[in-house]
Amino acid sequence: MQETMQNTKSKPNSPLMLPFRDRALGHLKSIARACTLAASMAFTCAPVQQTPSPQIQTFSNLIWSGYEVDAPRYGSIIGISSYFTVPKLGQGCDLPGRIELDPQVAIWIGIGGDGGEESLIQIGLLGSYDYVGKTHSASMIPFANVAYTAVYEMLPNRIATIHMDIRPGDTLYASITKIGNGGKFLMHLEDLSRPQRPFSKIVRYDKDTYLLTPHNSAEWIVEKPTLYDTTYLFPLAGFGSVTFTHANITYKNVLGADPQIQESGIGGPRTFELNMYTDSDLRGDYMLAKPSALFANGTQFTVVDQNCAKIDP
């Protein structure tokens, strides 16, 4: 699956069965958009009003909405963390002339994948909204099967399921921390809204993959997933909004004999705002999702479902 974005920034790959990430080839110089949807009938979300920092670059793409931060020139990213609230899902918007089936959404944090890297480490959740009709008493009664699944992934490996009971309104805490220099990472996911065991696991890249991938970017993302090993984009489920809070990155300065460890929020000249668009081919462009401006010293923002808002040419 391929992602094409505007401008000169690229986004990587992701092969999942309801992937977080799609297979990113190359860096966005042209726009090739394929249509799907955006917001739920259950939500009314006005376009986000914001004044972007002149340091933050903005890119349009098919599947990601949120923020990406690249590591400093002489540094590497060794940790990422954030809290976010699980949204209530809906059908999403049906564009004129289209029937959108089996809408999906992925919400995650991750390290790597930028600049054509073959690896990307992600943890978060996948949500699906299966809207069907059921015949009862000679009438058609609509209902929906809504499912939330906690997951993690280490590309190029497939997605792995985390056994956790996730429900709308829950607050999740996710983190990824690099351990030493041997390709090990500690994956952590915790549901703070209900008593259940947190997930913590040390995972490891094989030596060849790890040495070829510096993992020099960090992401906080709402994604329109793709079907594993295909170019099929699932429709985006209506999600209202997702707020990321306490979004932090840990850097390691690799210059000098005494590397310094630093922690910061999102922001600065190597920060990229990612807006998700779609194109109906015949009816023009529509906006699917857009992040707000950064707040709380760059540690908080909200990705807002844009209800397939028409974009003026």
**What does the pLDDT average to over 105-126?**
85
| CATH architecture classification, 57-310 | Sandwich (2.60)
Distance CA 82, CA 52 (A): 21
Given a cut of 90, whether residue 171 has pLDDT beyond it is yes
- Look at residue 245 in the predicted model and tell me its pLDDT: 97
Amino acid at residue number 245 = T
- Look at residue 216 in the predicted model and tell me its pLDDT: 81
Calculated CA dihedral for residues 259, 9, 1, 287, nearest 10 degrees = 120
Comparing CA positions, the residue from 3, 247, 220, 213 lying closest to residue 113 is: 213
Concatenating the DSSP letter of every residue in 258-275 gives SPPEEEE-S-STTEEEEE
Strand partners, 305: 289
pLDDT band at 67 (very low <50, low <70, confident <90, very high): very high
Q: Which residue has the higher pLDDT, 234 or 207?
A: 234
b/e map 148-175, b = 16+ CB within 10 Å = bbbbbbbbeeebeebebebeeebebbbb
- pTM (predicted TM-score): 0.79
Query: 156 in helix, strand or coil?
Result: coil
Query: 114 in helix, strand or coil?
Result: helix
Given a cut of 90, whether residue 91 has pLDDT beyond it is no
Given a cut of 80, whether residue 185 has pLDDT beyond it is yes
Strand partners, 106: 126, 223
Distance CA 121, CA 206 (A): 13
Ranges of H-type helices in 200-284: 207-211
Phi and psi at residue 208, to the nearest 5°: -65, -45
Q: How far is CA 253 from CA 2, 75, 274, in A?
A: 33, 4, 26
pLDDT band at 208 (very low <50, low <70, confident <90, very high): low
pLDDT digits (tens, 9 = 90+) for 3-56: 333 343 444 343 333 333 332 222 222 222 222 222 222 222 233 333 445 478
- Look at residue 20 in the predicted model and tell me its pLDDT: 33
**What does the pLDDT average to over 96-101?**
63
Concatenating the DSSP letter of every residue in 179-199 gives ETTTTEEEEEEEETTS--PPE
Domain boundaries, the chain: 57-310
pLDDT digits (tens, 9 = 90+) for 248-282: 999 887 666 666 788 888 987 789 999 998 865 54
With a CB cutoff of 8 Å and minimum separation 6, the contacts of 197 are none
